[in-house]
Amino acid sequence: MNERTDTPEYRYDSAFANTIEEKWQDRWEQDGTYFAPNPSGKLADQTGRIEAPKLFIMDMFPYPSGSGLHVGHPLGFIGTDVFARYKRMTGYNVLHTMGYDAFGLPAEEHARQTGQHPRDNTNANISNMRNQLRRLGLGHDSRRSVSTTDLEFYKWTQWIFLQLFNSWYDPTVDKARPISDLESLLSNGDIKLDDESNWDSLTPAQQRETINSYRLAYLAEAPVNWCPALGTVLANEEVTAEGRSERGNHPVFRRPLKQWMMRITAYADRLLQDLEILDWSEAIKTMQRNWIGKSEGAEITFKTEETEFKVFTTRPDTLFGATYMVLAPEHPLLGEIVADVWPDQTPERWKNGMPTPLEAVQNYQKISSQKSDLDRQENKTKTGVFVGEFATVPVNGKKIPIFISDYVLMGYGTGAIMAVPGQDERDWEFAQEYDLEIIRTVQPPEGWDGDAFTGDGPAINSQFLDGLNITDAKERMIEWLEETENGTRNTTYKLRDWLFSRQRYWGEPFPIVYDDEDLPVAVPENYLPVELPDLMDWAPRSLDETSDPEPPLGRASDWVYAELDIGDGMKTYKRELNTMPQWAGSCWYYLRYLDPTNDEQFVSKDVEDYWMNGETGGVDLYVGGVEHAVLHLLYSRFWHKALFDLGHVSTPEPFHRLYNQGYIQAATYQDSRGIFVEASEVVEENGDFTYQNEVVTRSFGKMGKSLKNSVTPDEMYDQFGADTLRLYEMFMGPLDQDRPWETKSVVGSLRLLQRVWRNLVNEETGALQIVDKETPLELKRILHQTIHSVREDMENLRFNTAIARITELNNEITKSNTETPREVADVLIHLIAPLVPHVAEELWEMLGNDSSIVYSPFPVPDPTYLVSETVEIPIQINGKLKSKITVPSDLSSSDLRNAALADEKIASIISDTEIKKEIIVDGKLVNFVI
């Protein structure tokens, strides 16, 4: 934008916007404008605002990226800021701040690329991001901004870990309890040991190991996701369906390792149930439900010659249709089950060309272990091999063959199934492959020509179940199983316990040491925090599939051993060398926002109660991207529930209302070779796009470096100013929707601010153009209708339509073409204040106010101006609009009818035609059917 010599001196342009924006940002900082008072403690009230109802508004914890922000990042931050500002003006004590999720893989990977130490790199990134966000004019309480990497923060992350380590889940009361309760229950025999042995007969080490196996945070040797390229193991949630790491897309291998686990499965049912009380979108709830994956059914015991095993099924009603069994290739009982020789008349197809069942099984195990998850999915043809043994169907004594196949997963249920091809598509396919018997136990509807029938219908071929529908048949069969002790009602979950250790440097150290017995011991609270040692060589080694993970902390040789007094004098202990995963800090950061300066507790009781235990229970509004639908939101709910059980927080759920903002997308251009070209240099001509005179093709994608379509906030400040950027982002569309960025459209938002400015300020002189006179009635009506709509839109986060209403009001003021009545100016400035706080503050100050508009009450509509005296009524003939009449709004139906008939156009259409039917909706419309 070139400087025009004759541009009015006091025009609202980008240079002027930048000046007042920086002025107000400094002012707000000096005045602590956005400090939200606590009921007690260091952040206690000095303003009186603590008397107002509270509101806790949050953005999802960002990680401080090294590459800086683009205009897509702050969309949600602006949304929450506008809402928070609106709520402050309507009388709430609003807590809104922002912290940094600075530990973990992203930060470490970035440090690794730049070669800088993660701490230096992280601190630089945080300060950079703080500056960028400050420039947007976000009204955050800066005293409450925390980073997970702060010592004072991760001290409490470790403290919470100890709470989890020191508790167990008591299924009889369905909540977590202190581990000391468990010790008493075990020693007095109220809780029996699995092997019926006596507690007192166990050695102290055995007793400790037993107790350890109950803890919410526990060590377990379990098959884990080992990612050599990242040098660490990963949680299930961090591995894609293709068996690769979600971050970096590196191959991941399953292998058993001893790792810290979190007993989230104990909470599976509560995590599922409590979704009901949350104000979250159905989409997110569904994703969580699917992830938890609750299935109700029965566990049924099948006997073989030598042994017995259990299967899980959701369809116990189909037991009469079980014609074969399948075990997962890794099933631990295979050793006992596999026969020495093939039974007589074993079909060749079942042997897979092997001379003995053992060789066949071993061969199959080998092949399937080499298959990646991807291979398993792509190769849909069912494979398997007969193990040479038969099982007995408990309900009818039938002997059915046992197979192994990789379509049965060891990780779900019991790793074994009863196959009912008549009612299960997968079993049907396998039965076709191996020529196995198929018995239908549910009558398919007439004309059914499909394979397995999974729908409802009357039971057949099932003796005492015949005629019952699925639900009743299931119940009847479960009764039978329990009566005859052949099985029990059972429920399984897809949710697995949460793998909690990482072999990385940049994370919270565990507050755990190992003693002489190599058993874990909690580091006493007075030794917290366990500080992350400063390591020069912090990068993970690149490793291969078979090597063991090497935690980098093992290289801090003088840190590895610790002198501690854990109750029986100073001794040397070996430290836990793993670190916590990134999710640890984000599981509870919102609680630290509440009381960030407290060095006695992670959050004080009354502060927590004040902010969390309001009308809704939990954070009042939580805005973030949908990508955290399962990971963060599930982990965080789990920690919160454990803290709730232990009495540390007052609500069962952390986030009452969740709102998923959309993403800003941007056009991206590829040349003929498919290479992305710099989007800002592409020119459009007659619908064609060219880059350096070469035609390129356009598509839309996430904004970012790789697609060469980033637009930075800084460019927008230069061209338009922060208020315009805020306004444009809020105007583009509904907050929850993806929308394409268009720099050329931003000017519309700048124009609105210029028009607002021009309606109140003389551009040539800079003087106010406001008069103390009565507002004309018609403008007054529009004013109050606008207040009404804007309030409604703000409450519902519909900022785009709020801006449209404000624009209409402003257009009305422009049209009146006279000096603006002070009343109108006052209202207008308040309406825009949440959206464009800088220019609103500036105008408010120019109007002679010496306190900030941030806490000035938002206008309230006067109901007398919301109803107008006349109303325009559309008149339809046969449902088609033919005319409109303006009538008094309280006109009676019959008068309205007559008025409609008297309308010239209507009269000419109807004249001598018969009216078959008339619909008169008072105040709304008239429709004649002829």
Q: How many CB atoms lie within 10 A of CB 881?
A: 11
Among 518, 493, 528, residue whose Cα is nearest residue 602: 528
User: Given the rule CB under 7 A, which of 608-616, 688-696, 876-884, 887-895 is the region that contacts RNA?
Assistant: 876-884
778 binds RNA (CB under 7 A): no
For residue 294, the minimal CB distance to RNA (Å) is 9
Count of residues engaged in binding RNA, rule: CB under 7 A: 88
For residue 287, the minimal CB distance to RNA (Å) is 4
- Binding track over 391-410 against RNA, x by CB under 7 A: ---------------xxxxx
924 binds RNA (CB under 7 A): yes
User: Given the rule CB under 7 A, which of 4-12, 497-505, 583-591, 615-623 is the region that contacts RNA?
Assistant: 4-12
Sign of the Cα torsion 464, 465, 471, 474 reads positive
User: Given the rule CB under 7 A, which of 56-64, 312-320, 458-466, 894-902 is the region that contacts RNA?
Assistant: 312-320
Nearer to RNA, 866 or 902 (CB): 866
- The SS3 call for residue 813 is helix
State the number of CA atoms in the 13 A half-sphere of 644 facing the CB: 19
DSSP bridge partners of 419: 324
Of 292, 591, 732, 828, the one binding RNA by CB under 7 A: 732
Of 119, 758, 781, 838, the one binding RNA by CB under 7 A: 758
The answer to whether residues 456 and 318 touch, using CB atoms and an 8 Å cutoff, is no
432 binds RNA (CB under 7 A): no
In whole angstroms, give the CA distance from residue 686 to residue 866. 47
For residue 543, the minimal CB distance to RNA (Å) is 26
Give 571-614 as a DSSP string. Answer: EEEEEP--B--THHHHTTHHHHHHSTT-SSSSS-HHHHHHHHSS
Of 60, 75, 162, 328, the one binding RNA by CB under 7 A: 328
DSSP bridge partners of 259: 220
Six token digits for residue 415: 């790793």
In whole angstroms, give the CA distance from residue 923 to residue 896. 9
Of 733, 819, 849, 868, the one binding RNA by CB under 7 A: 733
Nearer to RNA, 25 or 582 (CB): 582
Q: What share of the chain is helix, strand, coil (3-state, %, to 5)?
A: 40, 20, 40
- The SS3 call for residue 255 is strand
For residue 407, the minimal CB distance to RNA (Å) is 4
739 binds RNA (CB under 7 A): yes
14 binds RNA (CB under 7 A): no
494 binds RNA (CB under 7 A): yes
438 binds RNA (CB under 7 A): no
Site for RNA in 120-179 (CB under 7 A): none
Give 816-881 as a DSSP string. Answer: H-SPEEHHHHHHHHHHHTTTSHHHHHHHHHHTT--S-GGGSPPP---GGGTS-SEEEEEEEETTEE
The answer to whether residues 280 and 658 touch, using CB atoms and an 8 Å cutoff, is yes
Site for RNA in 240-299 (CB under 7 A): 241, 281-283, 286-287, 290-291, 293, 295, 297
| C-alpha distance from residue 800 to each of 738, 788, 807, 828, 835 (Å) | 13, 15, 11, 16, 11
For residue 372, the minimal CB distance to RNA (Å) is 11
Six token digits for residue 904: 């010239």
Of 517, 534, 688, 738, the one binding RNA by CB under 7 A: 738
User: Given the rule CB under 7 A, which of 87-95, 443-451, 596-604, 747-755 is the region that contacts RNA?
Assistant: 747-755
Q: Which stretch of DSSP H or E encloses residue 809?
A: helix 799-816
Nearer to RNA, 673 or 815 (CB): 815
Nearer to RNA, 36 or 803 (CB): 803
Of 539, 626, 768, 901, the one binding RNA by CB under 7 A: 626
Rg (CA), the chain: 35
Q: Which amino acid is at 882?
A: K
User: Given the rule CB under 7 A, which of 93-101, 350-358, 509-517, 732-740 is the region that contacts RNA?
Assistant: 732-740
For residue 922, the minimal CB distance to RNA (Å) is 11
User: Given the rule CB under 7 A, which of 192-200, 306-314, 474-482, 599-607 is the region that contacts RNA?
Assistant: 306-314
Query: For residue 503, how far is the Cα from the chain centroid?
Result: 25
Site for RNA in 346-385 (CB under 7 A): 373, 376-377, 379-380, 382
CB burial of residue 469 (10 Å; 0-12, 13-18, 19+): middle
Nearer to RNA, 520 or 721 (CB): 721
For residue 813, the minimal CB distance to RNA (Å) is 9
424 binds RNA (CB under 7 A): yes
Site for RNA in 783-842 (CB under 7 A): 798, 800-801, 803-804, 807-808, 811, 814-815
In whole angstroms, give the CA distance from residue 115 to residue 12. 45
For residue 315, the minimal CB distance to RNA (Å) is 5
Nearer to RNA, 709 or 852 (CB): 709
For residue 9, the minimal CB distance to RNA (Å) is 12
> b or e along 43-54 (b: 16 or more beta carbons within 10 Å of the residue's beta carbon)?
beeeeebbebeb
475 binds RNA (CB under 7 A): no
For residue 814, the minimal CB distance to RNA (Å) is 5
Nearer to RNA, 110 or 882 (CB): 882
Site for RNA in 649-678 (CB under 7 A): none
User: Given the rule CB under 7 A, which of 34-42, 308-316, 478-486, 635-643 is the region that contacts RNA?
Assistant: 308-316
Nearer to RNA, 492 or 578 (CB): 492
Of 675, 777, 881, 915, the one binding RNA by CB under 7 A: 881
End-to-end CA distance of the chain: give it in Å, rounded.
61
For residue 176, the minimal CB distance to RNA (Å) is 25
533 binds RNA (CB under 7 A): no
737 binds RNA (CB under 7 A): yes
91 binds RNA (CB under 7 A): no
For residue 362, the minimal CB distance to RNA (Å) is 19
The answer to whether residues 291 and 631 touch, using CB atoms and an 8 Å cutoff, is no
SS (H, E, C) 133-155: HHCCCCCCCHHHCCECCCHHHHH
For residue 883, the minimal CB distance to RNA (Å) is 9
* Omega prior to 316 cis, within 30 of 0: no
CB burial of residue 869 (10 Å; 0-12, 13-18, 19+): exposed
Nearer to RNA, 328 or 577 (CB): 328
CB burial of residue 535 (10 Å; 0-12, 13-18, 19+): middle
Of 751, 851, 860, 862, the one binding RNA by CB under 7 A: 751
| C-alpha distance from residue 880 to each of 547, 874, 895, 916, 928 (Å) | 77, 10, 21, 15, 9
415 binds RNA (CB under 7 A): yes
Nearer to RNA, 485 or 904 (CB): 904
Nearer to RNA, 753 or 854 (CB): 753
6 binds RNA (CB under 7 A): yes
For residue 245, the minimal CB distance to RNA (Å) is 14
Six token digits for residue 791: 């309030």
Nearer to RNA, 25 or 423 (CB): 423
Nearer to RNA, 315 or 637 (CB): 315
The answer to whether residues 176 and 262 touch, using CB atoms and an 8 Å cutoff, is no
Sign of the Cα torsion 20, 22, 28, 30 reads negative
